[in-house]
Structure 1
Amino acid sequence: MRTVPVDSTARHPMERILTPGSDRTLVEQIVDWYAARIDERLLRPGSRMPSVRQFAAGHGVSRFTVVEAYDRLIARGYLESRRGSGFYVRDRGDGLAPRAADAWAEPAGARIDIGWLLRNMFRKLPAQNMPGGGVLPTDWLDADIVASGLRALGRQGATPLLDYGDPQGFGPLRERLRQKLAEFGIGARAQQIVTTNGVSQALDLIAQHFLKPGDTVLVDEPSWFLMFGRMSLLGARIIGVPRGADGPDLDRLQELAQAHRPKLFVTVSVLHNPTSTAIAPAVAYRLLQLAERFDFTIVEDDVYGDLHPGPAVQPCLRLAGLDQLQRVVYLGGFSKTLAASLRVGFVACEPGLARALTDLKMLVGLTSPELGERLVHRVLSEGQYRRHLDRLRARLAAAYEPALRAVERLDMRPFATPGIGMFVWADAGVDTTSVAQAMHERGYLMAPGSLFMPGQRPSTWMRFNVATTCNPRMLADLQEVLGQVRARAGVAGA
């Protein structure tokens, strides 16, 4: 078989991935870069690597650095050394157990859909290479809060953690959540709150309770992509309601409700994902009237709501506060603010529904993990969480304007500029799926607009995470890719 040397200077210049001042060593950066491209099948089995001398001279590193990086890649099963010939990408279809990352490797030309984004969210890319991610970088979060909470729980003894927890959720946490909701003007008793394994499970339980095949669900368009796939699996029909800067288009919602008699409308009142906008009071009141008139339940997802700086900056009215949980089901959680792996979410709703959801929760998963719930309770009770949120809000506010300006310099038009929240939603003028595919080949995770549309139809929009958007190398690559896509599409000014 003819072998072709892999010259990374040609297609993937090494200066793009060797980051001066990085907390990773040069060896680690080289290993991670090549491992990712082999996992993604961008470097094929049998391809010859640059020689140690060639690599060192071409990229300004020592030969010792290259040798150590190649040795690590050999140890991990990525490369093999052939005496007198050099280093080659190893064919790992020889009975070796694949690495966990292999299971997520994308075949060439893989379709970008909800599954693609979910798989790539777990690729462990550097945060600065994930402008399409939906979480804050780990170095923005406070690991000490989590660690100190775990140590404190350990000192209390493990006995309470050895049995099943309360099916409805850890009682003291539900009481603390009742107090938290009261701060939003939502009157709920602890008996009306059910904890879940993240907001995703909360939404799943609600869908299973309300929906049967053929039922219609209305959602914001654009909106959080994960709900589309799960509700579609239940046989529901998902229809989008256009989202404006002040909330859903109520005229269109009324038309759809009259024609389809939906069971649910899933929306966001505060820090909407992906636009970071808020629902206006007049829109909120009329929306509740439409829900009453056409007999549908509103599911209010407030998972990003804790990042909102308050009504002095932007309206932060919750539908559940107006409705007092009569026709609104409220969802919240802590994965976006404390830790992505801390899967503690909750549902607040009317008492009968809370009982039904608790029964369903036991059927599908017994109880939610009480260790995480006890940890969140401790953080909420000791005042650490409020101070942590203040720091996150300030940091997001400082990051928003630079991210917005960076997006605008790419000749992308923002949907809105609220100046707060985690996201900028911007129009590139061309189908962003092809942009995301090209950027993926360069080692970046983007979030094209098609993933936020029911049916995943083509879209010119793209979501940017303000915490991870100002990476100069990423922006330079994106500028180049956008220019190429626009030129192919014949967009003026490309």
Structure 2
Amino acid sequence: MSVPLEQIPAPHDAPQLTLVDQLVQWGRRRIDERVFRPGMRMPSIRKLALDKGVSRFTVVEAYERLVAHGYLDSRRGSGFYVRERSAPALVAKGETSAMAALAAEREPVRNTIDVVWLLRNMLHTSSPEKGPGLGYLPGRWLDGELITNALRSLSRQSGAQMLGFGTPQGFLPLRQQLQTRLEELEIGASAARQIVLVSGITQAIDLIARLYVKPGDAVIVGDPAWFQMFGRFASQGARLLGMPYTPDGPDLDALETLVATWRPKMLIINSVLQNPTGTSLTAAQAFRILQLAQEYDFIVVEDDVYGDFCPAGFPATRLASLDQLKRVIFLGSFSKTLAANLRVGYIAASADVAKALADQKMLVGMTSPELNERVVYKVLTEGHYRRHVERLRARLDGVREKTARMLEKTGLRLFATPPAAGMFLWADAGVDSDGLAAAGHEAGFLLTPGSLFSPHQSPTTWMRFNIANCGDPALPELLSNCLEKASRRSA
């Protein structure tokens, strides 16, 4: 049985790798990710040479190395087959240091689809078009020149400025710029006393969990919601409670029942373009949430990581603009709009809360990288960021309806009318989405099953699709075939 091919991904240290090394790396990765499964026949030497644009000798040498490393079996007259391995293959003598490092980093293949499985494969997916389950925009949509120009500008400054330790609150000029941006959202926050810079939303959630959550505390999250925070609160000993969503947003009657029953420590919510449903709070919903927070005395953590995807006049209400940071802790980040690995985010809160979080940040990791914060400051103040974000919105607008229609045509049902902004669609496949994700992985696609968005990892038929990464022409056929097979099995 043959398997589909992809282009060899360009490794970070590609100049140090020969064509044979690159082909070996490609084969190992696909085997470790179980796209090439035990017993499968590898592409013929002639076919792989044509597909990859290399000589047959290069393919033969790569296959022989994979045999030596324990990844393949050679069968005379038949070809090369993926070997069944009970333990990770040993690194063969003479393997390049770059290849050895890759082997050391890679975890054993898991049989279940969980958050770690998804995160690992997100980092290894070589083609965004084959990553409908990715949580970020493809690199070709972003503007690397914004980052490059900021770095050039910083390189002309005195190097002595980069040698200090920084402060737990973060680079002050960036905090001052963020104060101005928050004022545009009608959120008042003092740069000196109420804004703390962090290494992305993930660190912000970590600091909040460490500071406020004790074993046994109830924490309300969306069901569905951003999966990476679930494990952080669970490791703190929290009891996670899922707040269901409707096509109009969070089910506030269910929320009231939860808070009356469990008296939670906090609620965490995307008020704008919620991940994964794409819904946004109305003013009436926001007022009711704040009323419940006041009545039952819980903290509201408002994650606004997708806020910059909202055009002017978009019908959404931020809780912090109503509460003015009395009970709301507001989070923002530039990871979605500038670069996933830039890792610059911020927390805006009351002065007492901001001070406590800055102290917690110092205890956990001292300060966040000031170089990254200076880069973001340059990008924001040189006047190009707004136009860049407008271009991103326009590109998302250009594919949203097309992607929605494609998903419906293949047999999926959308959660609601496609939102007017944002990057995600939440769709019902009608079959176990874990199985659909596994089938997609076999074909080289990274799909995100809805079970990962449940605080209890419950099986579900729902899936999240990143509309920027659904352009591969093989995706509709894959979805249609998988749904048809599942339907035949159930019949």
Structure 1 and Structure 2 fold alike (TM over 0.5): yes
Find out whether 1:67 has 2:63 as its counterpart. no
After superposition, the Cα gap between the structure-2 partners of 1:46 and 1:395, relative to the gap in structure 1 and judged at 3 Å, is closer
Stretch moving more, 461-470 or 29-38: 29-38
What is the DSSP-based 3-state SS (H/G/I as helix, E as strand, rest coil) of the residue aligned with 2:124? coil
What is the DSSP-based 3-state SS (H/G/I as helix, E as strand, rest coil) of the residue aligned with 2:180? helix
After superposition, the Cα gap between the structure-2 partners of 1:265 and 1:422, relative to the gap in structure 1 and judged at 3 Å, is same
Q: Determine the structure 1 residue equivalent to 2:272.
A: 270
Q: Is the 8 A contact 1:268 1:300 kept in 2?
A: yes
Distance in 2 separating the partners of 1:391 and 1:112: 35
Q: Determine the structure 2 residue equivalent to 1:116.
A: 117
Q: Is the 8 A contact 1:222 1:274 kept in 2?
A: yes
Distance in 1 separating the partners of 2:126 and 2:54: 25
TM-score, normalised on structure 1?
A: 0.87
The letter for the 2-side match of 1:301 is D
Find out whether 1:94 has 2:96 as its counterpart. no
Distance in 1 separating the partners of 2:278 and 2:167: 35
Q: Determine the structure 2 residue equivalent to 1:131.
A: 132
After superposition, the Cα gap between the structure-2 partners of 1:70 and 1:356, relative to the gap in structure 1 and judged at 3 Å, is farther
Distance in 1 separating the partners of 2:34 and 2:113: 16
The letter for the 2-side match of 1:37 is R
Q: Determine the structure 2 residue equivalent to 1:52.
A: 45
Q: What are the superposed Cα offsets for residues 254-289 of structure 1, whole Å, 9 maximum, x if unpaired?
A: 111011000010011111111111111111111110
| Cα distance, 1:310 vs structure 2 | 2.5
| Cα distance, 1:45 vs structure 2 | 8.3
Q: What are the superposed Cα offsets for residues 90-129 of structure 1, whole Å, 9 maximum, x if unpaired?
A: 8873344744266445536x11111111111111321011
After superposition, the Cα gap between the structure-2 partners of 1:70 and 1:266, relative to the gap in structure 1 and judged at 3 Å, is farther
Q: Determine the structure 2 residue equivalent to 1:471.
A: 472
Distance in 1 separating the partners of 2:246 and 2:41: 53
Q: Determine the structure 2 residue equivalent to 1:384.
A: 384
Distance in 1 separating the partners of 2:479 and 2:283: 38
Q: Is the 8 A contact 1:40 1:106 kept in 2?
A: no
What is the DSSP-based 3-state SS (H/G/I as helix, E as strand, rest coil) of the residue aligned with 1:285? helix
After superposition, the Cα gap between the structure-2 partners of 1:42 and 1:443, relative to the gap in structure 1 and judged at 3 Å, is closer
| Cα distance, 1:290 vs structure 2 | 0.5
Q: How does 1:330-479 map to 2 (within 5 A)?
A: 330-416=330-416, 417-479=418-480
Distance in 2 separating the partners of 1:234 and 1:367: 22
After superposition, the Cα gap between the structure-2 partners of 1:73 and 1:305, relative to the gap in structure 1 and judged at 3 Å, is farther
The letter for the 1-side match of 2:189 is A
Q: Is the 8 A contact 2:35 2:444 kept in 1?
A: no
What is the DSSP-based 3-state SS (H/G/I as helix, E as strand, rest coil) of the residue aligned with 2:278? coil
Q: Is the 8 A contact 1:27 1:65 kept in 2?
A: no
Q: How does 1:5-84 map to 2 (within 5 A)?
A: 10-14=1-5, 17=6, 34-41=27-34, 43=36, 49=42, 52-53=45-46, 55=47, 64-71=54-61
What is the DSSP-based 3-state SS (H/G/I as helix, E as strand, rest coil) of the residue aligned with 1:177? helix
What is the DSSP-based 3-state SS (H/G/I as helix, E as strand, rest coil) of the residue aligned with 1:455? coil
| Cα distance, 1:394 vs structure 2 | 0.4
Q: Determine the structure 1 residue equivalent to 2:203.
A: 201
What is the DSSP-based 3-state SS (H/G/I as helix, E as strand, rest coil) of the residue aligned with 2:380? helix
| Cα distance, 1:207 vs structure 2 | 1.0
Distance in 2 separating the partners of 1:433 and 1:50: 28
| Cα distance, 1:476 vs structure 2 | 1.4
| Cα distance, 1:474 vs structure 2 | 2.2
Q: What are the superposed Cα offsets for residues 371-415 of structure 1, whole Å, 9 maximum, x if unpaired?
A: 000000111111111110011010010011111111111211111
What is the DSSP-based 3-state SS (H/G/I as helix, E as strand, rest coil) of the residue aligned with 2:220? strand
Find out whether 1:143 has 2:139 as its counterpart. no
| Cα distance, 1:62 vs structure 2 | 9.2
TM-score, normalised on structure 2?
A: 0.88
Distance in 1 separating the partners of 2:290 and 2:135: 29
| Cα distance, 1:68 vs structure 2 | 2.9
Distance in 1 separating the partners of 2:371 and 2:202: 19
Distance in 2 separating the partners of 1:419 and 1:74: 53
Q: Determine the structure 1 residue equivalent to 2:284.
A: 282
Q: Determine the structure 2 residue equivalent to 1:189.
A: 190
Distance in 2 separating the partners of 1:83 and 1:460: 41
Residue identity (%): 48
| Cα distance, 1:464 vs structure 2 | 0.2
Distance in 2 separating the partners of 1:100 and 1:387: 38
Find out whether 1:319 has 2:287 as its counterpart. no
Aligned residues: 468
Stretch moving more, 388-397 or 246-255: 246-255
After superposition, the Cα gap between the structure-2 partners of 1:477 and 1:27, relative to the gap in structure 1 and judged at 3 Å, is farther
Q: What are the superposed Cα offsets for residues 188-235 of structure 1, whole Å, 9 maximum, x if unpaired?
A: 111200000111000110111110000000011111001111100000
Q: What are the superposed Cα offsets for residues 49-81 of structure 1, whole Å, 9 maximum, x if unpaired?
A: 55534x36xx96599544334445667876789
What is the DSSP-based 3-state SS (H/G/I as helix, E as strand, rest coil) of the residue aligned with 1:377? helix
Distance in 2 separating the partners of 1:270 and 1:399: 20
Distance in 2 separating the partners of 1:443 and 1:62: 16
| Cα distance, 1:11 vs structure 2 | 4.0
Q: Is the 8 A contact 1:401 1:419 kept in 2?
A: no
Distance in 2 separating the partners of 1:113 and 1:82: 33
Stretch moving more, 82-91 or 66-75: 82-91
Distance in 2 separating the partners of 1:443 and 1:352: 49
Distance in 2 separating the partners of 1:404 and 1:212: 42
After superposition, the Cα gap between the structure-2 partners of 1:103 and 1:42, relative to the gap in structure 1 and judged at 3 Å, is farther
The letter for the 2-side match of 1:363 is L
Q: Determine the structure 2 residue equivalent to 1:219.
A: 221
Distance in 2 separating the partners of 1:246 and 1:456: 23
| Cα distance, 1:316 vs structure 2 | 2.4
Stretch moving more, 44-53 or 115-124: 44-53
Distance in 1 separating the partners of 2:7 and 2:279: 37
| Cα distance, 1:48 vs structure 2 | 7.2
After superposition, the Cα gap between the structure-2 partners of 1:89 and 1:260, relative to the gap in structure 1 and judged at 3 Å, is closer
After superposition, the Cα gap between the structure-2 partners of 1:161 and 1:483, relative to the gap in structure 1 and judged at 3 Å, is same
The letter for the 1-side match of 2:58 is E
After superposition, the Cα gap between the structure-2 partners of 1:105 and 1:125, relative to the gap in structure 1 and judged at 3 Å, is farther
Q: How does 1:224-303 map to 2 (within 5 A)?
A: 224-303=226-305
